[in-house]
């Protein structure tokens, strides 16, 4: 594929709103996870909660969209000059030539969960509950498109934890096919009762803070986040109005499906291997060019064991790698975009984020897992995202 310019990106997680606080926390090895006190949920476990989302914060014209997920989406769009950059792209290409490709796993389902608590005597949901603008999966793309004044192709990908890595691949295909000249891609997923109780029922929500690659790892910690990137057909072209320099490059993408199990990855990592190799092949690169791998690294026993095998099958055991979920929590449908943004920060600032909470490394895992953040000149970063149902996506990112 032809490298695609990423002119702007931003992320908002439990570490803070915008690139600067997230980069600082990752470099310093700080976690945003806290014991779970979300609403009235008192499960034993840790979550990465974004502050300031409990009260309505949307403009009046967007008030029908008001829910936790869209408040988080709004907060994320206001960071790092991202909305202004999209406005310049809209001027450059035309509103109808800028796509909006979003990702989420549960969208604003919390709004329905809360509305259900306030049903009337006849069982009806409250009159001010707006399903289409809040809970509906497609509402996220509609909200983002209206907020940003865009009218290009718009849709939402919901393939669990691979969702917001896959929108990068979808945008690349859309631009290559000539259906758009630019694309806003991203993922937004907020905490909700379904996710917390669901992962707890699956015995995947660890009572302890998550410990990727640790011998005693017992599951994941959940988080919420919004992350976006602006992809454009061309980066800077001298003095052309609206042209922008690349902040990084999308070099390659890989997608695959295990077809193995509803909630467990293929134990030998066959699908993950295929996604990583496809990302390298699409970029015309071999494994030796990758300087760092941001792992999916959920801290569940099966995922980490599978991913370790898959990484070693493709890269051997020398390439530095780590999971950043000990800092942000697992942000599910937003994880791919969050970790792509972390990969771009690592490329820009020249550092490898350490994987937190790994006190006793699992001796059965042989990849070169980095536990302390360190400076490192990076040119290419691979980011992995693997979801339920065996949906896999890998992104190869390059420095500007």
Summarize pLDDT for 50-84 with one digit per residue, the tens. Answer: 999 988 779 999 999 999 999 999 999 999 999 99
Residues with a catalytic annotation lie at 161, 296, 330
For residue 72, what pLDDT is reported? 97
Residue 308: per-residue pLDDT:
98
Could you tell me the two tokens for 244? 């922008």
At residue 241, the pLDDT reads 59
Q: What is the mean pLDDT of residues 352-358?
A: 98
What's the average model confidence in pLDDT over 316-321?
97
The DSSP-derived string for 226-292 is EEEEEEESS---TT-TT----SEEEEEEEEEE--S-SSS--TT-HHHHHHHHHHHHHHT--GGG--E
**From 19-23, 54-58, 226-230, the region with the lowest mean pLDDT:** 54-58
From residue 184, alpha-carbon distances to 108, 161, 200, 296 in Å are: 20, 19, 33, 23
Task: Report d(CA 378, CA 106) in Å as an integer.
Answer: 34
Token pair in block for residue 374 = 């360190």
In tens, the pLDDT along 87-104 reads 999 999 999 999 999 999
Supply the pLDDT for residue 173: 98
Per-residue tokens: 212: 């990727």
Q: Is the pLDDT of residue 239 over 70?
A: no
pLDDT at residue 98 in the model: 98
Calculate the average pLDDT of the chain. Answer: 96
């Amino acid at each position: 594929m032809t490298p695609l310019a990423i002119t702007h990106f931003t992320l908002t997680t439990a570490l803070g709103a915008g690139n600067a606080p997230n980069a600082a926390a990752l470099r310093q090895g700080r976690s945003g996870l806290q014991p779970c006190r979300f609403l009235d949920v008192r499960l034993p476990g840790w979550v990465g909660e974004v502050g300031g989302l409990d009260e309505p914060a949307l403009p009046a014209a967007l008030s029908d969209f008001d829910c936790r997920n869209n408040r988080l989406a709004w907060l994320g769009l206001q960071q790092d000059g991202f909305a202004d950059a999209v406005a310049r792209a809209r001027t450059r290409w035309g509103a109808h030539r800028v796509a909006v490709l979003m990702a989420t796993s549960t969208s604003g389902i919390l709004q329905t969960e809360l509305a259900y608590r306030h049903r009337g005597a006849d069982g009806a949901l409250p009159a001010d509950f707006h399903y289409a603008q809040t809970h509906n999966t497609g509402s996220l793309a509609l909200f983002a498109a209206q907020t940003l004044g865009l009218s290009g192709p718009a849709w939402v990908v919901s393939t669990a934890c691979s969702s917001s890595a896959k929108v990068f691949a979808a945008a690349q295909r859309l631009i290559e096919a000539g259906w758009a000249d630019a694309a806003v891609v991203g993922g937004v997923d907020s905490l909700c009762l379904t996710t917390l109780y669901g992962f707890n029922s699956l015995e995947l929500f660890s009572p302890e803070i998550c410990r990727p690659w640790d011998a005693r790892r017992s599951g994941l910690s959940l988080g919420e986040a919004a992350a976006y990137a602006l992809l454009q057909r061309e980066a800077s072209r001298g003095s052309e109005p609206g042209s922008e320099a690349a902040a990084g490059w999308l070099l390659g993408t890989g997608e695959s499906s295990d077809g193995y199990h509803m909630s467990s990855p293929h134990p030998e990592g066959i699908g993950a291997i295929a996604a990583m190799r496809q990302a390298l092949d699409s970029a015309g690169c071999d494994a030796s060019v990758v300087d760092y791998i941001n792992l999916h690294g959920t801290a569940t026993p099966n995922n980490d064991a599978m991913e370790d095998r898959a990484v070693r099958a493709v890269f051997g055991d020398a390439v530095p790698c780590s999971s950043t979920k000990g800092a942000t929590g697992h942000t599910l449908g937003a994880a791919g975009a969050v970790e792509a943004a972390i990969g771009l920060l690592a490329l820009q600032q020249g550092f490898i984020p350490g994987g937190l909470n790994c006190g006793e490394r699992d001796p059965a895992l042989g990849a070169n897992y980095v536990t302390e953040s360190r400076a490192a000149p990076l040119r290419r970063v691979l980011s992995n995202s693997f979801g339920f149902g065996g949906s896999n996506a890998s992104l190869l990112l390059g420095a500007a």
